[in-house]
Amino acid sequence: ARKAALSASTGPGATADGHKVPLLANVGGPADVPAAVEAGAEGVGLFRTEFLFLDDSKNAPTEEKQVEAYRQVLEAFPEGRVVVRVLDAGADKPLDFLTPADEPNPALGVRGLRSLLDHPDVLRTQLTALAKAAEGLPVYLEVMAPMVADRADAKAFADACREAGLRAKFGAMVEIPSAALRARSILQEVEFLSLGTNDLAQYTFAADRQVGAVSRLQDPWQPALLDLVALSAEAARAEGKSCGVCGEAASDPLLACVLTGLGVTSLSMGAASIPYVRATLAKFTLAQCERAAAAARASDSAEEARSAARAVLSGE
């Protein structure tokens, strides 16, 4: 019965009073597209392009191979948005030709945008391949960089996009606390923000996302993390730009309501979560989401934040 009720719930993401929150899918490549379409995703909010590079850690894939893979994903959402993240190598995803072998703390080392700025040829090839893949398609392409720390990073990325002749919106992921704290400054260089709450939690709490012993600190309901989400969303609103979430946090239906209440403008998640998030969001008004968000932020722990939000939304 639950399944039937969920499949009846289709259409764009919105609160009960019609405040739109596009529900997008996280994909790792063309193989994930059918599930995203089936779940009614309004586009792709995070295309993790690493998959193309992980087959061969010694060489980057050719431009032609990249064009082919990007085109398959772009063609699946002819009217929708597709947000492509450039290669996020390093840390848990090392590549021999990009990642220094001897880093004492790989998560704090040359990863994400940092490795691409050290290897401009790899970034250029990827951006050129994206430009070619989008040619002639009506899709609304957005391209974003992982691990942006400051305005200089955002500018270097936007410059590389312009130099590659990419006709798209350029954005920055907010995964490092400095980027959330200085979001307005970063928004002087790019057109949108996307919160990667997995890494943002890791770096806010100094808790390695791969270490189970510190998983308590990876809980996206932590009020400190919600504060950084709110700062980023408020900065984007002040600049008239968008701020989505593409980390795991977006796939928790109750937290999705809280994120909406914090001012986040879109939610991207694994396709399987979309029907649950859509159904939950549709039950509450934006004002209720805002009250739940305020209650969560007024809490002192993740557990307290979760129950405070639940109490507001269940009318207790």
Residue identified by tokens 């977006």 is 250
Beta bridge partners of 142: 83, 169
Determine, following the binding rule CB under 6 A, whether residue 116 of this chain makes contact with ligand PEP.
Answer: no
Number of residues near Mg ion (by CB under 5 A):
3
Partner that binds at residue 230, options Mg ion, ligand PEP, none, CB closer than 5 to 8 Å by kind: none
Residue 260 interacting partner from ligand PEP, Mg ion, none (CB closer than 5 to 8 Å by kind): none
> Residue 181 is inside which H or E element, if any?
helix 177-181
- Which residue of 73, 89, 145, 246 would you call a contact of ligand PEP, by CB under 6 A? 246
CB 249 within 8 A of CB 3: no
> What's the CA gap between 249 and 275, in Å, rounded?
15
* Ligand-binding site membership of 48 (annotated): yes
Q: How far is CA 180 from CA 94, 116, 305, in A?
A: 26, 21, 20
CA dist., res. 175 & res. 68, Å (int): 29
Contact status: 196 vs Mg ion (CB under 5 A): yes
| Euclidean distance between CA atoms 289 and 21, whole angstroms | 12
Q: Is 48 in the site for ligand PEP (CB under 6 A)?
A: yes
User: Which residue in the set 199, 208, 219, 252 belongs to the binding site for ligand PEP (CB under 6 A)?
Assistant: 199
Tokens of residue 103, six digits? 């880093």
CA distances, 262 to each of 13, 75, 256, 266 (Å): 16, 33, 10, 12
Query: Of 185 and 198, which has the nearer Cβ to ligand PEP?
Result: 198
**Site membership for ligand PEP, residue 32 (CB under 6 A):** no
- The single residue among 198, 223, 280, 282 that binds ligand PEP, judged by CB under 6 A, is 198
Of 207, 198, 209, 199, the C-alpha closest to 270 is 198
Binding mask 27-66 for Mg ion (x = CB under 5 A): ----------------------------------------
Q: Which of 161, 243, 246, 257 is catalytic?
A: 246
Spell out the residues 6+ positions from residue 21 whose beta carbon is closer than 8 angstroms to its own: 13, 14, 15, 256, 260, 264, 265, 266, 267, 281
Q: By CB under 5 A, is residue 208 in contact with Mg ion?
A: no
By C-beta, is 46 or 271 nearer to ligand PEP? 46
Which residues are paired to 43 by β-bridges?
A: 81
Q: Which of 32, 42, 189, 199 binds Mg ion (CB under 5 A)?
A: 199
- Note if 161 is an active site residue: no
Of residues 137 through 176, those in contact with Mg ion by CB under 5 A are 175
Residue/partner pairs of 240-245 with CB below 8 Å, 24 or more apart: 241/187, 241/191, 241/192, 241/193, 242/192, 242/193, 242/266, 243/174, 243/183, 243/192, 243/193, 243/194, 243/195, 244/24, 244/45, 244/83, 244/192, 244/193, 244/194, 244/195, 244/268, 245/194, 245/195, 245/197
Of positions 32, 142, 153, 175, contacts ligand PEP by CB under 6 A: 175
Closest approach, Cβ 314 to ligand PEP, in A, equals 28
Among 33, 39, 41, 46, binds ligand PEP (CB under 6 A): 46
Catalytic residues: 246
- Contact residues toward ligand PEP (CB under 6 A) are 46, 48, 88, 175, 196-199, 246-247
- Which residue positions form the known binding site? 48, 85, 175, 198-199, 209
Binding residues for Mg ion (CB under 5 A): 175, 196, 199
Annotated binding-site residue numbers for Mg(2+): 175, 199
Residues annotated in the binding site for phosphoenolpyruvate, as ranges? Answer: 48, 85, 198-199, 209
